Amino acid sequence: MTTPSGGSTPDDDYWRRPGTGDGGMADQPPPATAPTSGYAGPPPSVPPPAGWRPPVHLEPAPPRHLPPQDAAVLDAAEQRSQRVTYGFGAAAAVVLVALVCLLCSRLVF
């Protein structure tokens, strides 16, 4: 809740900055300090001891071998599926053209 005069209520005193001894300067933020020489770098870190590794509990099984692929059979299957797709597309195009012709003939006659 704010007061129209800009003053503070007794409840706001809890949130007020502590006094710096300046009197009227207590409500203003402290002045910004000038930046130093820049970035000082990351904090130092301690490397782990030599030879340290996490404990290994289980060894994974080696990967299995995939079955061999027959490229000629895969190409033939892909060509058959492409023909089916083109067939359905052609049939849909014929139906759409027939519908458009039917609608246009109804508008003209």
Per DSSP, the residues of 81-99 read: HHHHHHHHHHHHHHHHHHH
- For 14-51, the pLDDT digits (tens) are 777 776 555 555 556 666 665 567 888 888 898 888 88
Please provide the size of the chain in residues: 109
User: What is the predicted pLDDT for the residue at 17?
Assistant: 74
Instruction: Give percent of the chain above pLDDT 90.
Output: 41
Residue with tokens 């996490």: 54
Encode 20-61 in three state secondary structure.
Answer: CCCCHHHHCCCCCCCCCCCCCCCCCCCCCCCCCCCCCCCCCC
pLDDT at 4 over 70: no
pLDDT at 100 over 90: yes
Rounded to an integer, what distance in angstroms lies between the CA atom of residue 16 and that of residue 12? 6
- H-assigned helices in 1-70: none
pLDDT at 73 over 70: yes
